[in-house]
Amino acid sequence: MDVVYSNKKALIQYLFHSGFTVETGDYFLIFDFFDPSDNTVESGAAGRDIREKIANSKYPFVFASHSHHDHFSSSIFKWKRENPRLTYILSSDIKLEYNALDSLSDFHYISMAPYEHASKNAVTISTFGSTDIGVSFLVDVDGLRIFHAGDLNWWHWADESTGQELEEEEWKFKNEVAKMSGERIDILFFPVDPRLGEHYWMGGAYMLKIFQPGLFVPMHFGNNSGITKKFSKKMSQSAVPVLEITTGGQTYEYNKQ
């Protein structure tokens, strides 16, 4: 079914892990594409669907928050063939493999370190830091503010860390979040990682409390999508809806109130 968009409405599609697409108005945004089967864009329904939407979009963008293999693959540069207006927004820790490009002269990309700002085709991008490597993205597009955290999280590895290390991780996370103080967020993509055991919810709960976004979208859970329902239930007292994800390709239409 075709979706007719107006300002402040978006269609979100879950790809895998921390990968999502967001469609709104003339814009098609792709965040942290990762295909666990072969890590390419050439195979699978998701790759074919993305290529078609890039080709048909007026202003397509591809974001990669950092160089970890589960957030970035150089094969995404093949998408450049689909639309000459495609723009890549890449964390500065990503080293470009120029031999993967069709033509460097018409390759459109912006490399961004933390705490930088850029604008392209009426889309404004601000970067913040991470508690791992790379950046987190705050994107203003079509009347919406979208935050994709990358690997920014409260990494509370209780079984692997000393008390001092846990305190340091808490400080790193809360200090980074404080740099975003006062920012409004409509759609918040944030890690809810089951590898953290019983502490999987802490970073997400903190972000909900601080920012009260219009929608919270869990990510960074690999094949364990059941953690999204568990988190939603745990946050049931929050006024913020939490998207429960069950399968790759799942879509959700967000309407800003």
List, for residues 188-239, the tens digit of each pLDDT value.
999 999 999 999 999 999 999 999 999 999 999 999 999 999 999 999 999 9
The answer as to whether 1 is a domain residue is: no
- 243 near 228, Cβ under 8 Å? yes
CATH of the domain at 213: 3.60.15.10
Residue 57 belongs to a domain: yes
Q: What is the pLDDT of residues 86-101, one digit of tens each?
A: 999 999 999 876 555 5
The phi and psi torsions of 138 (rounded to 5 degrees) equal -115, 115
Predicted confidence at residue 104, as pLDDT, reads 45
The answer to the question of residue 4 being in a domain is no
Q: Which long-range contacts (CB under 8 A, 24 or more apart) does 101-110 make?
A: 101/77, 102/77, 107/77, 107/80
Q: Is the dihedral of CA 92, 17, 83, 126 positive or negative?
A: negative
Tell me whether residue 217 is in a domain. Answer: yes
- Best mean pLDDT range from 4-18, 155-169, 210-224: 210-224
Is 153 contained in some domain? Answer: yes
**Is 124 among the domain residues?**
yes
Number of domains, the chain: 1
Cα–Cα distance between 65 and 92 in angstroms, integer?
Answer: 9
In a domain, 3, yes or no: no
Q: How far is 67 from 31, CA to CA, in rounded Å?
A: 13
Tell me whether strands 251-255 and 9-16 are parallel, antiparallel or unpaired. Answer: antiparallel
Q: Which domain does 200 fall in, by range?
A: 9-255
Q: How confident is the model at residue 158 (pLDDT cuts 50, 70, 90)?
A: confident
The residue among 7 and 255 whose pLDDT is bigger is 255
**Does residue 1 carry a pLDDT above 60?**
no
Confidence band for 157, pLDDT divided at 50, 70 and 90: confident
CA-based diameter of the chain, in Å? 53
Report yes or no on 105 lying in a domain.
yes
Assess whether pLDDT exceeds 50 at residue 3. Answer: no
Q: Is the pTM of this model over 0.85?
A: yes
